[in-house]
Structure 1
């Protein structure tokens, strides 16, 4: 069995599912997920943002791990106990599973290549190299469970009939968390100029968790639609579905829109991502582990 611990929002959960799916496929074993830390409302620490299990917007149904395994290996909800428990799991191997935690974010960990069956994974695992070998299987897995709702059909048709550019703006908790490096409006201005060197007559569709801010602060030299919250749908599933229908992408340092771009079926899509992804330990971590050939870092 391969067990992967889920943490964070839908974009993060997708990266965690992807590495688990890849390892389970390679080892010809079953994939289990641990949602206990994700859904806990007793988590302590700075800048805690509670999330829900959101993978069920897709037509997948991974198996939940047993409570015993979750308690033995899963991340503690207490900030003071988290790292102690991690060290305990790493150094004292009294359980049935091998515990592997992510050492450095946004950097491929070569230990994953040696992972065997019966392993518990804890981390965010945000690198395309973790799941390159199962892209076909992932594309098959990550089909939306529900069709675009009828109230959004007109918008979906408009998106598909144009050289649509998905512009995603992430704010909310990023505004007060310096680690996430809020993307400034100048990035979107430069990205529009870059898009125009590749795309004729682009139409811009703006998606955001703060659409009113976008209406006030963003301007594009072309048809622009600000997609309001009424299109979000349950678990923001409709929002994500609409985003995947776009032809091209200007995304911030957001795993949510990263997956929208990845799931887009347009082979000739132009995807622009910020070069600096997060600010960590006094320096910027680049988006190198997240770009594909043809994707543009700006």
Structure 2
């Protein structure tokens, strides 16, 4: 059967059986099978039209050409989007439709290479495809640009966002435009106990002097993973632009600190005395509230402790500071650290006052503690299986107890201050002529209701340290 050419408007169309034209091929019943086949990954042989035998090899279609999907990368693209070729005038090119290819008269240039005298030529749709489909190099280039852009913008955002465990409160950076009323910050010195004292002192003195307080980034990094602190962070760029006036503090409150001169003040020294901030105790305790996961880990350890097979009713935290103090105290400050005698007296005091207490020992020298603290009564537990733990974990354990025994150092002082309850501390641990008295006042370091047990100053000549 031959196809007849009809004119529709200004365009010529080919008419097949029962008047079906190539312009509305999808609406013809005879081509319904072909249009459904276009959505399949692999074309099936075109059904016989009743005009001659079915060819041994199905007619080649655009789906069978390797240039349509030349690689695995292109194979997963939707095939219906590959064929971009169109005829002049915006009419879709039907040369790729199996029905049209099977029925319409082929030009010599469109003859298959397998046919005699045929010249190898690509259909118009595939020629358009080759010129419009992006190559792999273009795809990889765009992928690299996307990845680099994503990384760049992510790093910029992360630079301003604290770690998820850092603080439950919003971290606010110091504004680029300096506050007209000025601001207070503080110099970061020492380890965890020192920085807690510096934070609390800054919190109190800035409030007292009517100035906003900002903490250095290093202090935020040390405290925020443990506590729910709220003071905003001083951005490094802002810190370098401010004409700071350094103001030195002693380790006790003085009247002149209520009227610190200057607009942009950086406090210096090692302030840790309760005399700076005790009038704000509820707020200080709120600032040093443990994060939930830190507190829960400490409480889980305490719940597992037993005294002679029974769950204890009273928990007493014990902090033994040794480390560099073993050499610094006798050689620099003319003093001593806690010995076996002091620890035994302190433990016995709580044994006499509370039924079935358990003593949770933390230290930077757990080996010495295991040798020096008797476990004969079955009421002593060494934190961390007797190994030195992290300062954050040790502090969390101590603050979750009911009472505290401390030796020397700001770490123990803060553990006792946050815990509340009864506190026993090492008293008179330096000689009367010690230079330590110029920078340390016991009455400003220990609360009045804490109980001191005098140190044995004669131990410096003995070897039981």
CA distance in 2, matches of 1:109, 1:221: 48
- Establish whether residue 11 from structure 1 lines up as the match of residue 156 from structure 2: no
**2:365 pairs with one of 205, 210, 215:** 210
- Establish whether residue 99 from structure 1 lines up as the match of residue 253 from structure 2: no
The aligned counterpart of 1:53 is: 222
2:184 touches 2:206 (CA, 8 Å); kept in 1?
A: yes
**1:63 pairs with one of 223, 228, 232:** 232
Q: How does 1:261-276 map to 2 (within 5 A)?
A: 261-264=416-419, 269-276=421-428
CA distance in 1, matches of 2:317, 2:411: 12
Change (3 A) 1:237 1:280: farther
Summarize deviations over 1:237-290 as a string: whole Å, max 9, x none: 2221111011111101121121111111x5xx2101111366797355452212
**2:207 pairs with one of 15, 25, 38:** 25
1:253 touches 1:278 (CA, 8 Å); kept in 2?
A: no
CA distance in 2, matches of 1:219, 1:244: 23
The aligned counterpart of 1:288 is: 443
The aligned counterpart of 1:250 is: 405
The aligned counterpart of 1:85 is: none
Q: Extract structure 1 runs of 4+ deviating beyond 4 A.
A: 66-72, 149-153, 158-161, 229-233, 277-281
**1:147 pairs with one of 284, 293, 299:** 293
Change (3 A) 1:245 1:9: same
1:33 touches 1:62 (CA, 8 Å); kept in 2?
A: yes
**1:118 pairs with one of 243, 264, 267:** 264
CA distance in 2, matches of 1:108, 1:270: 24
CA distance in 2, matches of 1:208, 1:162: 23
The aligned counterpart of 2:314 is: 163
2:367 touches 2:386 (CA, 8 Å); kept in 1?
A: no
Change (3 A) 1:193 1:151: closer
Deviation at 1:67, TM superposition (A): 4.3
Change (3 A) 1:55 1:171: farther
1:169 touches 1:252 (CA, 8 Å); kept in 2?
A: yes
The runs of 5 or more residues in structure 2 that have no matched partner are 1-182, 306-310, 454-465
The aligned counterpart of 1:172 is: 323
Summarize deviations over 1:14-63 as a string: whole Å, max 9, x none: 11001100122234432122367x89xxxxxxxxxxxx834531112533
> 5-14 or 218-227: which moved more?
218-227
The aligned counterpart of 1:225 is: 381
2:312 touches 2:358 (CA, 8 Å); kept in 1?
A: no
> 195-204 or 60-69: which moved more?
60-69
Summarize deviations over 1:46-85 as a string: whole Å, max 9, x none: xxxxxx834531112533435477669xxxxxxxxxxxxx
Summarize deviations over 1:87-114 as a string: whole Å, max 9, x none: xxxxxxxx844421135xx443332122
TM-score (norm 2): 0.49
1:276 touches 1:284 (CA, 8 Å); kept in 2?
A: no
CA distance in 2, matches of 1:15, 1:278: 22
1:192 touches 1:220 (CA, 8 Å); kept in 2?
A: no
Could you say what secondary structure the match of 1:165 adopts? strand
Which has more strand, going by share of residues?
1
The runs of 5 or more residues in structure 1 that have no matched partner are 40-51, 73-94
Could you say what secondary structure the match of 1:171 adopts? coil
1:277 touches 1:287 (CA, 8 Å); kept in 2?
A: no
CA distance in 2, matches of 1:71, 1:276: 43
Change (3 A) 1:188 1:6: same
Higher relative contact order (CA 8 A, sep 6+): 1
2:407 touches 2:425 (CA, 8 Å); kept in 1?
A: yes
Change (3 A) 1:156 1:69: same
Deviation at 1:152, TM superposition (A): 5.2
Summarize deviations over 1:199-258 as a string: whole Å, max 9, x none: 33322111111112211111156311111268876x532221111011111101121121
Q: Size of the alignment, in residue pairs?
A: 257
1:211 touches 1:228 (CA, 8 Å); kept in 2?
A: no
CA distance in 1, matches of 2:209, 2:398: 33
